[in-house]
Amino acid sequence: MHQFKMPQAYVERVVARQGRAHVCETFDGPSTALVVVDMQNYFMTKPYQAACAVAQEIVPNVNRLAQAVRGAGGRVVWIQNLAPWESEESWSVNREMHTRDKARSRWESMQRDAHGFQLWPGLDVREADERVVKRRYSAFIQGSSNIANVLDDNRIKTIIVTGVATNVCCESTARDAMMLNYRSLMVSDACAAATDEEHAATMGNFYLFFGDVQSTDEIVARLKT
């Protein structure tokens, strides 16, 4: 798991701006959702090209958070990334960032009937949880998914973002949520990236400008209050 501690200089800047280290000092359980981003086989295990070595290590924390949020009366939302064939044209700029073979592998691995599309089997997914399919890095960008409808139907105001990769789909989703006026958090020990450096860069920047960053222990403790 990534070894991360928020730089003290960042904490001091945030305290100077908002008067406290964490804007989310308390949670209203029924209006809180855990949003678990892309913890699918394609991002979790080799030989898939996007497999993240740290992703499997965060599973216990994700499951613990899911249990805590459910216990507080909140919702758990499992997001799966889909690569629809029509996006070969509608998202052609993404294809330009891959070789032909790698682009083909990505598209084929994230079809609905593909093993890569399926959620990692170690996740504690419950029947009452919400499932959302997205088509872009951010779940909130127009045309990507119906997550805003799902959250609004459940009267969600705060989202806790976990998953993979920290600096790609997790960050994109968490940032856009804040822009749409959701209280947005990223969990420092329940997100995974390719390197410690990428993970730390996202956590620091998100905390400075977009939302809150807390550990699993901190969030679980606050959900119980």
3-state class (DSSP) for residue 130 = strand
Q: What are the tens digits of pLDDT across the range 95-111?
A: 766 777 887 777 888 88
Looking at residue 170, its pLDDT comes to 98
The length of the chain in residues reads 225
- Checking 100-103 for CB contacts under 8 A at 24+ apart, the result is 102/49
pLDDT in tens, 80-90: 999 866 555 66
**Average pLDDT of the chain?**
93
Other Cβ atoms closer than 10 A to 216: 20
Section 174-193 average pLDDT = 98
Annotated domain spans of the chain = 27-122+136-197+210-223
C-beta pairs of 40-43 under 8 Å, 24+ apart in sequence:
40/80, 40/81, 40/110, 40/116, 40/117, 40/118, 40/119, 40/120, 41/115, 41/116, 41/117, 41/118, 41/119, 41/120, 42/81, 42/109, 42/110, 42/116, 42/117, 43/81, 43/164, 43/165
Superfamily for 27-122+136-197+210-223? Answer: Isochorismatase-like (3.40.50.850)
What is the Cα–Cα distance from 223 to 6, expressed in whole angstroms?
21
In angstroms, rounded to a whole number, what is the distance separating the alpha carbons of residues 6 and 15?
A: 13
pLDDT score, position 139: 98
Q: Is the pLDDT of residue 91 over 80?
A: no
Q: Which residues fall within 8 angstroms of residue 158, CB to CB, at 6 or more apart?
A: 24, 27, 28, 31, 32, 33, 182, 183, 184, 185
Q: Is the pLDDT of residue 34 over 90?
A: yes
